[in-house]
Structure formats: structure tokens, C-alpha cells
Amino acid sequence: MHPHRRADPLTGRHVLVSPHRALRPWLGQQDTPDDSAMACYDPACYLCPRNHRAGGIVNPDYAGPFVFENDFPALLADTPAPPADTSMLFQMEAASGTSRVICFSPDHSATLPRLTPAAMRQLVNVWCEQTQELGRHHAWVQIFENKGAMMGCSNPHPHGQVWAVNYVPDEVQREDDRQRAYFAAHGRAMLLDVAAHEIAAQERIVIRNDHWLAIVPFWASWPFEILLLPRFAAARMIDLGDAQRTALAEIIQSLTRTYDALFNTSFPYSMGWHGAPFGGRSTDGWQLHAHFYPPLLRSASIRKFMVGYEMMTEAQRDLTPEQAAERLRAVAC
């Protein structure tokens, strides 16, 4: 019940943990969860099969995961160099790449926990295929999903994205530097050591199977944050074998069902995969992992706001990661 700081070994950042603040009354914003039942097909949806997208293209009558170039991409393949500026304070560089959308299923209502096991396994294969294809020509490939209007999702049809860029982004560079430094100092992958410690401690594990481990990390910033780790050495998603992919599909569905069960709502989150960058770099020290960052704090209608102190100084949370893991374990599916 006492405030303290925890260090994140992946980024070097800290989080202020203030568990006594969970007792304070809440008179702030309360959101109304949108848990209305969705039909399997919506004729007005830009992402459903056979429908027109916003840019006018007609979707095929797809039956499984469907990948297409984003009609409103954040990145372009051919980007000219910006004007040169001799000032050290005002530097720019060209950013090029590609942005794609991954519809999980033709079913408009099929969020990850509602996919069939076979469809979830297909999606894992698509993630691996996109990583392999785009990694041939880009330094970084980011697979992610923003689920729910609360996380800025612009279309309710279950989908994710993959962005590939010609540089290593800041957050990834932090993880790259620190994992390499840990490997140089200890001769072991940092996140394999984390997994081994968590299995021994049993404090922050939410779900596990023979190949994967879902934990609330010791250094979590978001209330019910999850770090999804392989229990075996794997630098990138393309390193996963058949059994490991099947086990990954299973634990993702178990985790997302657990999220939905916590507050009896379709749980919003942002999730994304981090693996070793491409471009001929060594993968020493790198361990594949996924981050799940859900905003909900106390209920389906009360969320955590990263504002004020968090924006100006460092992250802060109102319940310990151990408390969060215990609550998720209690409803694990």
C-alpha cells in the first residue's frame, strides 16, 4: 500500500506505483461501453466482404483473413528527401514505407476471442507471412491492433494493421539497445530470464501453456497491461514453428476472453508485436514479445487517463501489477 517506483528493463523508463490511490472516490468521466450485439455482416461497413471501401474499391468476397493496402496510408513507398537544414535543432529525414490493413475475418462480429480456433490460427500465419514479406525490404515491421472506440479504432469490424518503415522507431530502438546490452553483460536474452523468473515466482502470471506466458509485467504502466512472451528462444515471429504458432493462437484467445470477462465487456486495448529489427542486424539478445495496453481501470466505464503527471514526468498506476494479475487470474478463460 506504499508508493514506490519500478524500473522497466526493456526501455529504461520508470513507473510510479501508488496502490493506496485505488481507494479514492471517482467523480470523473465515465464512458458508456458499446456492447450492443453486432451482426455478422453490416452493409454499411467499409471492411465487410463485397462492400465498397471509403476509397471506392470493392472488397472481395473473402473467407479468411484479408490483407490490403491501406486506402489512407500513414506511409508512402516513395518519399522525397526534405530540404536540408544546417541547424542541429531543426532536423528532418524522409520516412518511407507501407501501411496495410488485416481484416481478421469476414464476420463483422468476430473479435479475437470470438474467432474460431482455426481462424485464429490462420491469423497467426498471416502475421508471420506479413512479417517475412515486409522484412525483406524494411528495417521495421509493426503488427498491431487498436480495439474499440476508446482506443481510437475508426471501424468496428475486427481488424489490425501492419506498418513497415525504412528506419527503427524510437520505442523499438530503446528495446534493441537494452536487450543487446543485457545479452552482452550476461550472455542470455533478457526476456527469457524474465520468463524463467515469472514461472518460478508465480506472482504475475495470468495464463500460460507449454510454449507461451502471459504476465502483468513487474513494470506495467497500464492497469491491466500484459506482456506475452515465448518460453523458448525466438527473435522474430518468422522463427515460430507449427506447434508454437498453434499454442500462440490458443493463448491469445484465452487472454482476450479473460479480458472480456474481467468487466463483462468487449475489452478495448492496443496490442502490438516487437521482434528483432531487419536490415542485416544481429539478433543477439532479442526475444519476440507482444504488448497489450488496455485503458480500463475500475470498470467497463472508468478508464485510466495518462495525463498531467504521466505526461510531464513518468507513468503512474493505482494498483500493483500483482493485484492486477490476481484479478485477471480469477476470471481466466
Pairing of strands 226-230, 97-103: unpaired
The length of the chain in residues reads 333
138, 159, 274, 291: which is the annotated catalytic residue? 159
CB atoms within 10 A of CB 265: 17
For residues 99 and 75, the answer to whether their CB atoms sit within 8 Å is: yes
- Which one-letter amino acid corresponds to residue 161? Q
For the question of residue 52 being annotated catalytic, the response is: no
Closest CA to 270 of 161, 113, 107: 161
Backbone phi, psi, residue 293, to 5°? -120, 90
For residues 79 and 94, the answer to whether their CB atoms sit within 8 Å is: yes
Q: Which residues contact 38 (CB under 8 A, 6 or more apart)?
A: 108, 109, 156
- Which one-letter amino acid corresponds to residue 268? P
For residues 306 and 293, the answer to whether their CB atoms sit within 8 Å is: no
Q: For residues 47 and 53, give the distance between their C-alpha atoms in angstroms, rounded to a whole number.
A: 7
The 3-state DSSP class for residue 166 equals coil
Q: For residues 126 and 145, give the distance between their C-alpha atoms in angstroms, rounded to a whole number.
A: 14
- Tell me the HSE value of 134 on the side-chain side, using a 13 A CA sphere: 29
CA 201 from centroid of its chain's CA atoms: 25
Q: Which residues contact 94 (CB under 8 A, 6 or more apart)?
A: 79, 80, 81, 82, 166
Pairing of strands 97-103, 140-147: unpaired
Catalytic residue numbers read: 159
